[in-house]
A and B are shown apart, each in its own frame.
Chain A
Amino acid sequence: MIWMQLLLLAGFVSLVLYLLVSSDRAKVQAGAKLAFAFFIVAGVYAVLRPDDLTVLANALGIDRGTDLLLYVLVVAFAFFAVSTYLHFRRLELDFGRLARRVAIQEAESQIAPPEDQ
């Protein structure tokens, strides 16, 4: 069990790091796509050969393969939730800047244009 716990905790720690450390957007997007592709392949494999999942789980110190699947899902979902939240925050910021420009242009169209810009 100890290995699995370490792995899961590592997953959550990297989630927090992902949240706090500013990083290159393109790299993050590519990483997310790779992780997603791996997730699909692993999912298909787990459906076709569920016993292999149990073998892997046992090797990690867990009794059942479904438990392993559940743990991995929890971590994956947390990643998804955080990245979606961050994505929306960025959209909100861009949307706000857009609305600001509209508001200022509209206000300035009713008076003389500014002298310095």
Chain B
Amino acid sequence: MSDDVWVVVPCFNEASVIAEVVGDLRSKFTHVVCVDDGSTDDTAAQAVRAGATLVRHPVNLGQGAALQTGVEYARRRAGARYFATFDADGQHRTEDLVVMIERLRTEPVDIVIGSRFASADTAKPPWFKRTILRVATATSRHARQLGLTDTHNGLRAFNRTVADRLDLTINGMGHASEFISLISENGWRVTEQSVDIAYTPYSRSRGQSILNGVNVLTDGLVRNRMRR
């Protein structure tokens, strides 16, 4: 059991799967913090029953805001040295995260990002989504500079250096690109870990619609103007 790791799981109306996801994480990590982003179903109660710490947004803010909340809560906890972000829909594998945390402990890196494209033999997203993700990565200046292959993966593990300075300002889905920009701007040492994604009917149904890409692009465009 890893006592110095805090896993942040942003969740919004995930009552049917959250208990299983938290339970699985808790078999390897003591601290799992679920940020309930104003769910209207039983998500919060299910998460607590499965052993997660609950932080609850009074209103729905978006996944980026939930991640930031979870990290801010976790970095205030005594003894927290490593942090992770993990999607609530059950598409990530706990074993992948265990490997990523181990790399943080042993290698000279600040952050390890999960990638669906780093290795040839991991499960790939459906072709249309794959194309969109490829384009998103190819058009990201920061991703190119850092040599990253997957900018929109919810599985990340990082140390205190990153957690202490993390300040996501994009509340919605555009936070994934913002995360990459922050890595580049702060000069954090980054590496990728090839991870498997379970594309179940459930996680597919919860996936992002392609149209949301428009929102992601505009969010990124005006991000610099939002800086104080």
Q: Which residues of A contact B (CB under 8 A)?
A: 19-22, 85-86, 89-90, 92-93, 95-96, 99-100, 102-104, 106-108, 111, 114-117
Contacts and interface: CB of A to CB of B under 8 A. Distances in A.
Given A19-B225, A100-B65, A107 B72 contact: no
18 contacts: A20-B221, A20-B225, A22-B224, A22-B225, A89-B222, A89-B226, A93-B169, A96-B62, A96-B65, A103-B56, A106-B55, A106-B56, A107-B55, A107-B56, A107-B73, A108-B76, A111-B53, A114-B78
B54 interface: yes
A100 B72 contact: yes
A90 B226 contact: yes
B78 A116 contact: yes
B206 interface: no
B201 interface: no
A60 B169 CA distance: 44
Contacts of A89: 222, 226
Given A107-B54, A107-B73, A114-B77, A99 B61 contact: yes
Contacts of B73: 103-104, 107-108
B222 A103 contact: no
Interface in B49-96: 53-59, 61-62, 65, 68-69, 72-73, 76-78
Contacts of A20: 221, 224-225
A20 B227 CA distance: 11
Nearest to A21: B225
A102 B58 contact: yes
B77 A107 contact: no
Contacts of A106: 55-56
Interface string B147-178: 00000000000000000000001010000000
Contacts of A100: 57, 61, 65, 68-69, 72
A52 B62 CA distance: 52
Interface of A is mostly: helix
Contacts, number: 66
Interface centre among A95, A99, A108 (most CB of B within 10 A): A99
A115 B171 CA distance: 29
Contact of A92 (B57, B69, B171): B171
A89 B225 CA distance: 10
B35 interface: yes
Nearest to A102: B58
Given A96-B65, A114-B76, A19 B56 contact: no
A117 B76 contact: yes
A103 B224 contact: no
Contacts of A19: 221-222, 225
